[in-house]
Structure 1
Amino acid sequence: MRMPRVILLIVGLNMVITLGSVVFGYLYLRPDKTSDVEQVQKVGEATIAQDPANYVFYPVDKIVVNLRGDDREHYFVLDLALQGDAEQSASAFKQAELLVRNAVVGSLSTLPLNQLRALSLTDLQSRLEQDLRKSFSAKGLGIPFTSVLVSKMLVQ
């Protein structure tokens, strides 16, 4: 008679431990349900949440750049999106598109293939943004965008 009680006690303890781990996993390992504003405040005080409706995006599709390789020529295809303020007109972006294409080709065609592949997406975006700002400033033109986003990238 004593053995069935021990087995029943072990099964009972096993159930309590299992239920406890399920409750622990639910309460402490679930995703944080805080609002976007609270999440931005957690990241840092200097970061300010912006409403996506305050921006307009203008696509610059299929910028093709030839790259030097060790044994043959390679190419790099890039799709960009220029982010601007909502008040910005599409015609300002349309007029700037040729200068953007020229600056991107000029910036990236000087890099060897291996160095371009080693760049992370954020490094590539910041490099392109810097080069575009320099190009617009050198020509004495106003910069119609606030940032540059890479929407597609293909290195062949």
Structure 2
Amino acid sequence: MSTTRLVLLMFVLNIAVVLGGLFVNYKMIQSATLGAAQPASEAKADEAVEEEEGEPAEYVFVPVEKVIVSLPGDGREHYFVLDLVLQAEFGTDPKKLAQVDPMVRSSVVANLSAMRFEDLRALQIPQLQKQLEEDLLADFASRKVATPFQHVLVSKMIVQ
């Protein structure tokens, strides 16, 4: 290949790289100016959609440890020891969550002690969590007490 052809090829490649860089900069500047010119209400709506689609929400978790339930079953007493976790939205006052601990314990013991050992043992963890959550929310509503948490999670379960 001759020197003039090599120089010409390098010149064409340099022009292609410069044009590509200009195009990328133009697109970046265009998207930045469009984002700044967007009205605040549209920007908030876009942020809300992005949060719903991809970003996970932040939560506060408060443990309720060692809820002990005695259950009748096959000729003897059985014991369930549950460690629960209350899931609340980020920013919920931790004191409010700590104050509901006795009511959560009472409701869990009352609802689970009405079951037979075999029935409770047959429940899978997600089913148990769902049942506990429904019972707790219903119990709080019947007593007209505000519920500072959204979900109840089982973090540990010991069966004897």
Q: TM bucket by the smaller chain?
A: 0.5 to 0.7
Matched, 1:145 2:149: yes
From 98, 105, 108, the counterpart of 1:104: 108
User: 1:15 corresponds to which residue?
Assistant: none
From 54, 60, 85, the counterpart of 1:56: 60
Based on CA coordinates, which of the two structures has the bigger radius of gyration?
A: 2
1:7-156 superposed matches below 5 A: 48-51=53-56, 54-156=58-160
Give the 3 Å change call, closer, same or farther, for CA 104–146 of structure 1 in structure 2. Answer: same
More helix by share: 2
Letter in 2 for 1:64: I
d(CA) in 2 for partners of 1:49, 1:82:
24
Q: Deviation at 1:103? A: 0.4
Instruction: Quote the RMSD (CA, aligned, Å).
Output: 1.3
Give the 3 Å change call, closer, same or farther, for CA 69–139 of structure 1 in structure 2. Answer: same
TM-score when normalising by structure 2: 0.65
What number of residue pairs does the alignment pair up? 109
What are structure 1's unaligned runs of at least 5 residues? 1-46
TM-score when normalising by structure 1: 0.67
